[in-house]
C-alpha cells in the first residue's frame, strides 16, 4: 500500500472523548434554550412596547378629536359672524348707491327746473312781465334768495293763469255745461290762493319788496294797493262784464263792495298811522347836534319793531282780496263767476301789455 492510499487515522473511542462531545451537546442545548428564552422575552417586550405605543396613539387621536370638538362652536360662530359682517357691508354699499342715485336725480331735477324757470322768465319778459331779477337788487345790492324765488314763481304763476284764461274763454264760447265750467272756476280760485300763499311767504323775507311792487310791471304798480289790487275797485270793473244780475245778486254785490271799501279804509288808516309813528320815532331828539349813540340805537330798535307791522298789513290786504273772490263765487252762479274771473284776468293782462307798449314806444 502506498503512502497516498493509506487511510487516515481513526480516533479511538474512549469515555473521555464521548464525555467531551456530550458536554458540547449539552452546552449547545442549554445555550439554545437560553437564547430561545431571551428571544421570547424580547418579543414580549416588543409586543408590550407596541401595545403601549398603540395606546398612546389612540389617546393622542382622542385628545385631538376632543380639541377639534371643543373648537367647533367657535369656528361656526366665527363663520356666521363673518357672513353677518359681509351682509352688513353689502347692505351699506346698496344704501350708499341708492343715496348717490337719489342725489344725482335731485341734481338733474334741479337743473331741469332752473332751465324751465329761465325759459319762463324770458317768455314773461316778452309778454311784458318784468320781475325783479335775482342777480341784483336796488343799486346792485344782493337780493334775498326767498325774494328771487318768489319772482320766479310769480312768472310761472302768470303763465299758468294765461292758460287757464284761454281754457275758460273757450268753454264760455262753446257753451259748455256748468259742470265743466265749475272745474275751471275752482281751478282759477285755487290758482289765486296759490299766489296769496306765495306772497305771504315772501313777506316774511322782505315785505318792502311786495309793498314796492317791483315784481309787477310799471303799469300795474300805478294801481297797486298794499301789494295788490283794491277789492272794491275790482268789483266795479267786473260787474259790467257779467251777465245781467238778479236784484238779489246786485244787492249782494253792492253790499260786498261796500264792506270791501270799509275794510280798505281801515287798513289805509292803519298804514297812515304806522307811517306817522315811524316818522315821530326817527325824528325824536335834536337833528342838528351829534346824536347820542345809545339813543340812536334805541330809536332804530323801536322803528324796527314798528316796521314788523307792515307784514301784518300785507297779509290782511291779501286776506281781504281772497275773501272778495270767495264771496263773489257764492253770490254769482257758475257761468257768471267764470265771466268775472275771465274779465279780471284780461284786465291784468292788458295792464301788462300796456306796460310793454309804453316801454317800447319811440323816444324823441
pLDDT in tens, 7-27: 444 444 444 344 434 444 444
Please tell me the predicted confidence (pLDDT) of residue 290: 59
Q: Residue 310 and residue 102: Cα distance in Å, rounded?
A: 41
Q: Is the pLDDT of residue 39 over 50?
A: no
- Name the residue ranges covered by the structural domains of the chain: 141-284+291-357
Query: In the predicted model, what is the mean pLDDT of residues 55-82?
Result: 56
pLDDT value of position 25: 44
- Residue-wise pLDDT for 108-124, tens only, equals 776 676 666 666 666 65
By C-alpha distance, which of 229, 242, 247 is closest to 324?
A: 229
**What pTM was computed for the model?**
0.61
How high is the pLDDT of residue 61?
53
| Three-class secondary structure of residue 228 per DSSP | strand
361: confidence class by pLDDT, cuts 50, 70, 90: confident
Contacts of 159 (CB under 8 A, 6+ apart): 120, 123, 124
DSSP 95-162: HHHHHHHHHHHHHHHHHHHHHHHHHHHHHHHHHT--PPPSS--GGGPPPPHHHHHHHHHHHHHHHHHH
User: Is residue 297 scored above 50 in pLDDT?
Assistant: yes
The 3-state DSSP class for residue 225 equals: strand
Yes or no: say if 151 and 132 are a contact pair by the CB < 8 Å rule. Answer: yes
Residue pLDDT, tens place only, 50-65: 554 555 555 455 545 5
Q: What is the pLDDT of residue 170?
A: 96
Q: Nearest 10 degrees: CA dihedral of 335, 340, 345, 347?
A: 140
Residue 317: C-alpha distances to residues 92, 221, 270, 272 (Å): 53, 16, 12, 15
How far is it, in rounded angstroms, from Cα 67 to Cα 27?
A: 59
Count the neighbouring beta carbons within 10 Å of the beta carbon of residue 319.
13
For residue 310, give the C-alpha cell.
Answer: 307792515
155 and 117 Cβ atoms separated by less than 8 Å? yes
User: What is the rounded CA–CA span in Å between residue 347 and residue 17?
Assistant: 167
- Distance set, CA 359 to CA 64, 71, 181, 218 (Å): 101, 91, 37, 9
The 3-state DSSP class for residue 345 equals helix
Is 50 exceeded by the pLDDT of residue 154? yes
Burial class from Cβ neighbours inside 10 Å (0-12, 13-18, 19+) for residue 16 reads exposed
Residue 331 confidence class, pLDDT cut points 50, 70, 90: very high
In the three-class reduction of DSSP (H, G, I as helix; E, B as strand; rest coil), residue 188 is classed as helix
CB distance 242 to 339 below 8 Å: yes
Query: With bands split at pLDDT 50, 70 and 90, how would you rate the model's confidence at 362?
Result: confident
Mean of pLDDT over the chain: 78
Residues in the chain: 364
Q: Which pLDDT score is estimated for 208?
A: 92
Q: What percent of the chain has pLDDT over 90?
A: 46
Amino acid at each position: 500500500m502506498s503512502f497516498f492510499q493509506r487511510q487516515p487515522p481513526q480516533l479511538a473511542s474512549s469515555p473521555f472523548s464521548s464525555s467531551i462531545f456530550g458536554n458540547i451537546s449539552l452546552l449547545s442545548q442549554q445555550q439554545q434554550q437560553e437564547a430561545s428564552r431571551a428571544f421570547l422575552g424580547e418579543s414580549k417586550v416588543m409586543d408590550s412596547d407596541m401595545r403601549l405605543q398603540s395606546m398612546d396613539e389612540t389617546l393622542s387621536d382622542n385628545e385631538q378629536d376632543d380639541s377639534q370638538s371643543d373648537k367647533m362652536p367657535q369656528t361656526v360662530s366665527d363663520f356666521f359672524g363673518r357672513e353677518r359682517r359681509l351682509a352688513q357691508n353689502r347692505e351699506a354699499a346698496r344704501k350708499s348707491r341708492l343715496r348717490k342715485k337719489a342725489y344725482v336725480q335731485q341734481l338733474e331735477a334741479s337743473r331741469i327746473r332752473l332751465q324751465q324757470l329761465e325759459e319762463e322768465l324770458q317768455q314773461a319778459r316778452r309778454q311784458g312781465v318784468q320781475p325783479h331779477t335775482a342777480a341784483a337788487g336796488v343799486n346792485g345790492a344782493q337780493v334775498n334768495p326767498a325774494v328771487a324765488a318768489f319772482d320766479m314763481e310769480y312768472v310761472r304763476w302768470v303763465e299758468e293763469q294765461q292758460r287757464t284764461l284761454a281754457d275758460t274763454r273757450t268753454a264760455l264760447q262753446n257753451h259748455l255745461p256748468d259742470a265743466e265750467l265749475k272745474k275751471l272756476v275752482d281751478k282759477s280760485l285755487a290758482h289765486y290762493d296759490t299766489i296769496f300763499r306765495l306772497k305771504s311767504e315772501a313777506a316774511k323775507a322782505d315785505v318792502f319788496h311786495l309793498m314796492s311792487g317791483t315784481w309787477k310791471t310799471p303799469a300795474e304798480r300805478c294801481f297797486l294797493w298794499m301789494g295788490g289790487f283794491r277789492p272794491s275797485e275790482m268789483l266795479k270793473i267786473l260787474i259790467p262784464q257779467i251777465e245781467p244780475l238778479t236784484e238779489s245778486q246786485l244787492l249782494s254785490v253792492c253790499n260786498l263792495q261796500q264792506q270791501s271799501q270799509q275794510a280798505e279804509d281801515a287798513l289805509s288808516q292803519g298804514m297812515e298811522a304806522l307811517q306817522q309813528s315811524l316818522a315821530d320815532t326817527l325824528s325824536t331828539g335834536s337833528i342838528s347836534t351829534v346824536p347820542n349813540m345809545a339813543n340812536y340805537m334805541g330809536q332804530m330798535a323801536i322803528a324796527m319793531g314798528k316796521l314788523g307791522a307792515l307784514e301784518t298789513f300785507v297779509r290782511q290786504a291779501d286776506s281781504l282780496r281772497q275773501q272778495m273772490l270767495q264771496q263773489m263765487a257764492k253770490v254769482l252762479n257758475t257761468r257768471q263767476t267764470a265771466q268775472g274771473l275771465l274779465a279780471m284776468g284780461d284786465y291784468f293782462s292788458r295792464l301788462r301789455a300796456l306796460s310793454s307798449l309804453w316801454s317800447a314806444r319811440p323816444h324823441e
